Structure 1
Amino acid sequence: MLRNIIDSSVQSCGLLPLMALIFLAALAIIIERMIFFSTSVRSGSNIEYDLKHVGRARGDDVKKLVHHYEGSVQNELMKAALELQGRPVEDFEREVEESIMFQMRKLDRNLWVLDTAITLGPLLGLLGTIIGMIGSFNILGSSGTGDPMAVSGGIAHALIATACGLTIALVGVVALNYLNKRVRMVLLQMDMIKSMLVTRLAA
């Protein structure tokens, strides 16, 4: 088994180990982001209900919500809004928007790496395929059809590279689409929080 892995790595000129590292990096980011969204982002199903029951100019009610959503990115936005209580509407909205942008950096952190892995995976797989096919044609040109196993072996290595690249892309695309959906959902929640709190806490 180890011998086959080493042979495949040599046949691909080191591309298979590189793709394995890219795949591991993509998996690490997927797992980290999944943990982040499960622990630091609350479901928004109750936020609208909670905010509608915050009385106008009732900072104490907002403080209860801050405690309820402790540890989430929504919590950070509510705390920022609470500190701005009594400010003019224009100043309040501007400061809250800045807080949303700051939280945005937390939401899409490292997603660019996953996006890059999705692009690089198939390209490296294609490159590995080309290298494998070139090796097969070289063998075919030097020994003719006298050693069909040598030719088919190169083609097999080429197909392995293609399969690895497509696997990276397939796993990455599904995960990235899901994570981007979560990011959009949280941004919509934050816009809703801003709109509802500006009428309750701004002067």
Structure 2
Amino acid sequence: MPRPDRSASVTESLMSLVIHLITIGGGLPLIMAVLLLMVIAIIIDRTWFFHRIIGAGRAIEHDLRETDCRNGEALKNVANRYENTLQARLVLATLNLRNEPVSMLSQHLEEEIMWAMPRLDRFIWLLDTAVTLAPLFGLFGTIIGMIDTFNVLGNSSQAIKATGGIADALVSTGMGLFIAIISIIALNYFNKKLRLTVHQLELIRLTIVNRIQSEGRANTGRQSHKPATAEEISGSPVPVDEAYVAEGAYS
């Protein structure tokens, strides 16, 4: 029976400690706790997003190397296989513009990449903001706590409590630095994933353009190597009766 009482007392002491830290930091530790939850939510969201997008990009790169980019049915199968991905939008754009000149197709695919950029760096700016804002919040909370501590130092009978107040005030700084460290690690990681995704999109664009251009040249080459007719060899057809006349004149 004493165990529930002990757990209740521990919970009560923890709650009182948290309330004390929030109070001594001027309420800023509560704001930093919300900021930490936001950072964790962004990390989870962007990790899943880049994992799905980059994995689909590798598979599309492989499929496009073995696909006739002028074949509409083949491109449609690739796009349907990886629907709702940024790379599939490039394949769908190729499906609609595959008969256009290669230069125009390349520009349209570049436009699709530019339209995809806001989806790639969504919420990344919040991590950058947390890197700068969290330590400032922590420092500000520490300053508020130190002001109360120095007020205690003015009373000689409570001077011993000042050391505990300084330690409690420094908790805000530690929270701010902790949030900033997590945020900057996640920011650098997602910036790397962002560059890799853009590289994949550019590689898919170049793969499509080069495949269409090489296939177009191959078709042109096959047409230029058709067996020549007799008229093409002689330059222009010669009427039979005029040929006999010319032969009789020289005889």
1:89 is aligned, of 81, 95, 102, to: 102
Asked if residue 197 in structure 1 is aligned to residue 196 in structure 2, the reply is no
Q: Which amino acid aligns with 2:210?
A: T
**Residue 131 of structure 1 corresponds to which residue in structure 2?**
144
CA distance in 2, matches of 1:44, 1:96: 15
Deviations 1:56-98 (A, max 9, x none): 5233332232233233221122112221111122321221111
State the one-letter code of the partner of 2:115. Answer: F
Distance in 1 (alpha carbons) for counterparts of 2:62 and 2:49: 24
CA-CA distance at 1:44 after TM superposition: 4.2
TM-score (norm 2): 0.73
Distance 1:19 1:82 in 2: 49
What is the root-mean-square deviation in Å for CA atoms of aligned residues?
A: 2.0
Q: Residues 96-175 of structure 1 correspond to what in structure 2 (within 5 A)?
A: 96-140=109-153, 142-144=154-156, 146-175=157-186
Work out whether residues 26 and 145 of structure 2, in 8 Å CA contact, stay in contact via their aligned partners in 1: no
Q: Which moved more, 1:70-79 or 1:113-122?
A: 70-79
- Describe how 1:60-75 pairs up with structure 2 within 5 A: 60-75=73-88
Q: 1:23 and 2:36 equivalent? A: yes
Give CA deviations for 1:3-54 in whole Å, capped at 9, x if unaligned.
1111111111111001111111111111121222233442544444332222
Alignment-mate amino acid for residue 194 of structure 1: R
CA contact (8 A) 1:42 1:72 kept: no
Cα distance in 2 for residues equivalent to 1:138 and 1:89:
75
- Conserved in 2, the CA contact under 8 Å of 1:42 and 1:69? no
CA distance in structure 1 between the aligned counterparts of 2:42 and 2:130, rounded to whole angstroms: 11
- Larger relative contact order (Cα-Cα within 8 Å, sequence gap ≥ 6): 1
Q: Give 5+ residue unaligned stretches, structure 1.
A: none
Alignment match, 1:3:
16
- Write the distance in 2 (CA, Å) between the matches of 1:44 and 1:8: 48
**Is the Cα–Cα contact under 8 Å of residues 113 and 201 in structure 2 kept in the other structure?**
yes
Where do 4+ consecutive residues of structure 1 move more than 6 Å? none
In the alignment, the residues of structure 1 paired with residue 69 and residue 116 of structure 2 have an alpha-carbon distance, to the nearest angstrom, of 25
Q: Structure 1 CA distance, aligned partners of 2:38 and 2:62?
A: 39
Aligned mates of 1:67, 1:23 — CA distance in 2: 38
Deviation, structure 1 residue 113: 1.2
- Deviates most, 155-164 or 60-69: 60-69
Deviation at 1:99, TM superposition (A): 0.6
Give matches, 1:34-49, under 5 Å: 34-49=47-62
Give the C-alpha shift of residue 171 in structure 1: 1.0
Cα distance in 2 between the residues matched to 1:98 and 1:56: 19
Larger radius of gyration: 2
C-alpha separation between the residues in 1 aligned to 2:94 and 2:30?
A: 49
Higher deviation after alignment, 125-134 or 17-26: 125-134
Q: What is the CA–CA distance in structure 1 between the aligned matches of 2:58 and 2:101, rounded to whole Å?
A: 30
